[in-house]
């Protein structure tokens, strides 16, 4: 039976929020931008201009057709499930390889920005004659990202526009199960 990436991301987000609340006594905060609101914002901004946030389920499916047309291939279903689950701040995590931030979408306009960045990443890989990968997380090392191979769904640690590095998991669901919440920083997202 196949494991659902969206369900496992939801389980990780719940563990992250629970651990954050236990450590800090409140939800994570992000700087409120009235021109960049998010459905995940909770309540009104405080007098410093910060607002609490928590992952909130997206109510309608994201439209990947533009990216798929530009790439001339379907986007891997696991990546669609991953980005199509929540409106949220990034989710810090720890993996055996080190710290990382699971990239999440703040609002629908953030999805448009993500598609542009994924397309740029894909075109750079195409120019270098490399297999298509699509990123989903940043690492502590600014030179490395975590990506999903679009052909087989495996998770790789790579440098952009370079041959894929090490495979960390056979699929995104397995990778998500390997994560532990990273709630050590006092301002985890402050978006």
pLDDT confidence band for 186 (50 / 70 / 90):
very low
- The maximal CA–CA distance of the chain, rounded, in angstroms, is 51
SS3 109: helix
SS3 35: coil
pLDDT of residue 191: 39
In a domain, 39, yes or no: yes
What pLDDT digit, counting tens, does each position of 54-88 carry? 999 999 999 999 999 999 999 999 999 999 999 99
Mean pLDDT taken over the chain: 92
In a domain, 125, yes or no: yes
pLDDT confidence band for 162 (50 / 70 / 90):
confident
In a domain, 19, yes or no: yes
| Rounded average pLDDT over 137-143 | 94
pLDDT of residue 2: 46
pLDDT of residue 1: 31
As for how many domains the chain has, the answer is: 1
Burial 164-174 (b: 16+ CB within 10 A, else e): beeebbebbbb
In a domain, 187, yes or no: no
In a domain, 84, yes or no: yes
Domain that holds residue 18: 5-181
CATH code, 101:
3.40.1580.20
Strand 41-42's sheet: what is its strand order?
29-31, 50-53, 41-42
Share of the chain above pLDDT 90, in %: 87
């Amino acid at each position: 039976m196949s494991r659902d990436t969206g369900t496992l991301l939801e389980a990780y987000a719940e563990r992250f929020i629970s651990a954050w609340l236990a450590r800090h006594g409140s939800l994570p905060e992000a700087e409120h931008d009235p021109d960049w609101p998010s459905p995940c914002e909770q309540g009104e901004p405080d007098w410093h201009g910060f607002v609490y946030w928590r992952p909130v389920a997206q109510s309608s499916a994201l439209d990947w057709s533009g990216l798929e047309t530009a790439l001339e291939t379907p986007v891997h279903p696991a990546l669609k499930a991953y980005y199509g689950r929540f409106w949220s701040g990034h989710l810090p995590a720890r993996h055996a390889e080190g710290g990382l931030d699971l990239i999440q979408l703040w609002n629908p306009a953030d999805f448009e920005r993500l598609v542009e960045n994924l397309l740029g990443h894909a075109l750079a890989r195409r120019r270098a004659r490399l297999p298509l990968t699509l990123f989903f997380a940043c690492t502590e090392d600014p030179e490395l990202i975590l990506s999903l191979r679009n052909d087989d769904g495996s998770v790789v640690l790579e440098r952009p526009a370079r041959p894929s590095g090490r495979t960390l998991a056979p699929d995104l669901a397995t990778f998500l199960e390997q994560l532990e919440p990273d709630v050590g920083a006092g301002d985890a997202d402050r978006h």
